[in-house]
Amino acid sequence: MGAQLPLLSGGDTSLPDDARVSLSIRESLRARHLILQVLPPRTVEVVVPKGMQPHTVQSFVHDHRDWIRRAGLELIDSYPEPDFRPSLIELQAIDQSVAVNYRQEAGGKAHYRYDDGKLHLNCAEEGFADAPQLLRRWLLKQGSARLKPWLLSEADRTGLIPSSIQMRLQKTRWGSCSSSGNISLNAALLLVAPELVRYLFIHELCHLRYLSHGKRYWQTVARFEPEFRQLDRRLSDCWKQMPTWLPRGGSGAC
């Protein structure tokens, strides 16, 4: 699955054409039941257990169409104008503000230049449609440059050393840890408070010792970060604050 479908269509249940909301169908290995969740700015997601029959999903969506419609309308009210061309990006994690300038070069090659704390985007597509992609490419590079050394510093402090580090822009995770010891980080961590970034590092590093979220795992997390419960809640809430040019999710760490 994973297709983007019209939220609702036809009759008095359709949404305004100028503010369409999509229904995303995502298959999950972790899910045990069908789940509905809201992903700002314009998506309502159905999380589907792996292997579930399509007709079961269709019936579930039909039975919950009123809830889906209300959630869609609330998204429109809460996020009236998605901003795909920000003039300023706040990198809270490293206490830095980045001014963004845009230039359109029809027929040219889209690229960016970053110097002296300013980001210059040269867009090739009409209406700066390629701006979000350029912003994501820039953020991934900044994530590799800033977050990887920071994680390695925390690894040295805790004695929990990953086998490798990957930088991604994940839709539903701030980070993850594999059984082979690889840690993946979401470059969007640069947009959240530094204490939350450090907590995420601790969270993933402790998975190098315990993959599951069992009692011994949380005891290990607490040894390095006693305020982990509060920080975990704050980090989960940060999804609501992410800019619209990034993939949007609604979960937390792995």
* 66-123 pLDDT, tens digit each: 898 888 888 877 765 666 789 999 999 999 999 999 998 877 899 999 998 899 999 9
The predicted pLDDT at position 5 comes to 40
Output 99 or 44, whichever has higher pLDDT: 99
What's the rounded Cα separation, in Å, for the pair 198 and 225? 9
pLDDT category of residue 252 using cuts at 50, 70 and 90: low
Closest alpha carbon to 124 in 101, 149, 146, 107: 107
Please give the order of strands across the beta sheet that includes 22-28: 4-6, 22-28, 43-49, 35-39
**Structural domains of the chain, with CATH:** 4-78 (no CATH), 134-241 (3.30.2010.10)
The predicted pLDDT at position 71 comes to 86
pTM: 0.72
The predicted pLDDT at position 88 comes to 94
Q: Is 108 exposed, middle or buried (0-12, 13-18, 19+ CB in 10 A)?
A: exposed
